[in-house]
Amino acid sequence: MKFNYVLILFFLFFFNTFSAQTKVSPEYIAVEWSEIQFDSLAIVNRMAYADTANFMHEKIYPCARCYLRQEVAEALLEANEIAKDKGVTLVIYDCYRPYSYQFKMYEIVNNPTYVAKPGKGSNHNRGAAIDLSLMDENGQLLDMGGAFDDFSAISNYAAEGLSKEARKNRRLLRRIMTRAGFKPYDGEWWHFDYKQKRYETSDFRWDCL
């Protein structure tokens, strides 16, 4: 019992120290982070965890703002131009996820199948991952064969039972993102990592205007 108590104290000390160390100045934010301006870029804002309409039915983010590391944001802008050339629109579900919010999500779900254990952090916690889909010129989401954050086998990129249309749309999304420098994750058709550079895990949290 005493050993468990010591472990808990150590964890709290580590987490509080991490949070304190990751508070950043406005100058650091300006240099290290870029906010995706949805309206001016004609990108659709569907930030899933800034609302309760997600698989946890909990609001995790205080507001729907999308931050990425500067170089990652530039790659996303390139993907946006490629998408426009192909007559489709990017639809963003998640971007940078503060480390403390990863803890909150894991506490709610408590299942690594659905939410990764915080550990050393994921690329979402580094500002180097993005979850997204595509929309057509009529404002309709392209058929991907399964919804964002559907954790059944259908979310695997090469899942069996997909229609020809869904396979075509998944290929299109993957082609757009890989051309812009992102690497797909086969287990989730919507998830892409920026692999050109390694970033530190962060707990920078944005303000809501």
Task: Quote the pLDDT of residue 1.
Answer: 46
Helix locations, the chain, DSSP H: 2-21, 26-32, 38-41, 70-85, 99-109, 164-179
- Output the CA torsion sign for 159, 164, 166, 167: positive
Domain 25-194 has CATH 3.30.1380.10: yes
Q: Is 57 labelled as part of a ligand binding site?
A: no
Name the one residue in this structure whose structure tokens are 């944005």.
206
∠ CA(96), CA(131), CA(203), 5° rounding? 15
Name the one residue in this structure whose structure tokens are 């993005």.
130
How many whole angstroms separate alpha carbon 90 and alpha carbon 176?
Answer: 10
Q: Is 39 labelled as part of a ligand binding site?
A: no
Task: Quote the pLDDT of residue 114.
Answer: 67
Global confidence as pTM: 0.83
Question: Which among 95, 73, 78, 90 is positioned nearest to 172, based on CA atoms?
Answer: 90
Task: Quote the pLDDT of residue 120.
Answer: 78
Phi-psi label, residue 160: left if phi above 0, alpha if psi -120 to 50, beta otherwise: beta
Task: Quote the pLDDT of residue 172.
Answer: 99
Domain residue ranges in the chain: 25-194
Q: Cα separations (Å) of 35 from 29, 71, 72, 83?
A: 10, 12, 11, 19
How many whole angstroms separate alpha carbon 106 and alpha carbon 128?
Answer: 20
Catalytic amino acids? 188
Task: Quote the pLDDT of residue 147.
Answer: 96
Residue 197 is classified by DSSP as S
Tens-level pLDDT at each residue, the chain (209 residues):
443 433 333 334 444 444 444 444 444 455 589 999 999 999 999 999 999 999 999 999 999 999 999 999 999 999 999 999 999 999 999 999 999 999 899 888 877 666 777 787 889 999 999 999 999 999 999 999 999 999 899 999 999 999 999 999 999 999 999 999 999 999 999 999 998 888 999 999 999 97
Task: Quote the pLDDT of residue 182.
Answer: 98
How many whole angstroms separate alpha carbon 76 and alpha carbon 92?
Answer: 11
Q: Is 124 labelled as part of a ligand binding site?
A: yes
How many whole angstroms separate alpha carbon 151 and alpha carbon 102?
Answer: 17
